[in-house]
Structure 1
C-alpha cells in the first residue's frame, strides 16, 4: 500500500490499478468516439461537395436555358416587327410557342436527369 505524507491516508494498490485501468478505458472510448466523429464529418463533407457540384451544374444549365429563351423572345419580337400581315404575326407566334414548348420539355427532362444523377452520386457515397 501507498501512504500519503500529509494525511496519513492509505490508497490500496488495487484501487490505483483500477483507477488507472478506468482512465485507460475512458481514453480508448474517447479515441474511438473521435475516430467515428472524424469519419462522419468526412462523409458529410464529401456529400456536401457532391451536392454543391450538382447544384452548380443545375444552376449553370438553368442560366443557359434562360439565355436561350430570352434570345428566342427577342428573335420573335424582331420578326413580329417585320411581319407584313396579321396572319403572318399569328403564324410567327404559333411557331414560336410550339418551339418553346418543345425546348422546355427537353430542358425539364435534362434538368431532371441532372438532379437524379446528383442524388444517385450522393447515395452511392454512403
Structure 2
C-alpha cells in the first residue's frame, strides 16, 4: 500500500516489533525475578527449620537442667530435715553449694556448645 492508502490507525511493523521485543524482555525479567524469589523463599524456609530445630534442642536442654537443679534442691532440703546438728547442716550446705557450682559450670559449658551448634547449623542451611 502507498503512504496515502495506509490506515492511519495501523501500527507500523517496526513499532510492533519493538513493542514485542520489549514485552519479551519484560517477561524474561519477571521470570528471573520469580525464580530468585522462589530460591530466596526456599533458603528462608531452610533457615527457619534449622533455627527451630536449634531452639527445640536449647529448650529441651534448659528444661532438663531445670529439672536436675530443682531435684538437687529438693534433695538438699530433705537432707537438711534429717541433719542431727549444726555441724552436719554446715557440711551438707557446703557439699550442696559445691555440687551446684560444678553442675552450673557444666551446664553453662554444654549450653554454650548447643547454642554454637545451633548457630552453625543455621548458617550451614543457607548454602
TM class, shorter-length: over 0.9
Partners of 1:48 and 1:33 in 2: CA distance = 22
Partners of 1:49 and 1:80 in 2: CA distance = 47
- SS of the residue corresponding to residue 84 of structure 2 reads coil
Partners of 1:17 and 1:35 in 2: CA distance = 27
Superposed CA deviations along residues 31-54 of structure 1, whole A, max 9, x for unmatched, are 000100110111011011101100
Match of 2:87 in 1: 87
Match of 1:20 in 2: 20
- Please state how far the C-alpha of 1:10 moved relative to its aligned partner: 2.5
Superposed CA deviations along residues 9-47 of structure 1, whole A, max 9, x for unmatched, are 221001001101111100000000010011011101101
Partners of 1:118 and 1:86 in 2: CA distance = 47
Moved over 2 A (4+): none
**How many residue pairs end up in the alignment?**
122
* TM-score, normalising length: structure 2: 0.91
Higher RCO structure, 1 or 2 (CA under 8 Å, sep 6+): 2
1:51 aligned to 2:51? yes
* TM-score, normalising length: structure 1: 0.92
Partners of 1:35 and 1:116 in 2: CA distance = 33
- Please report the RMSD computed on the Cα atoms of aligned residues, expressed in angstroms: 1.3
Partners of 2:19 and 2:122 in 1: CA distance = 46
Match of 1:10 in 2: 10
Match of 2:107 in 1: 107
Instruction: Say if 2:50 and 2:125, in contact at 8 Å, map to a contact too.
Output: no
Partners of 2:124 and 2:71 in 1: CA distance = 39
- SS of the residue corresponding to residue 23 of structure 1 reads helix
Partners of 2:72 and 2:81 in 1: CA distance = 14
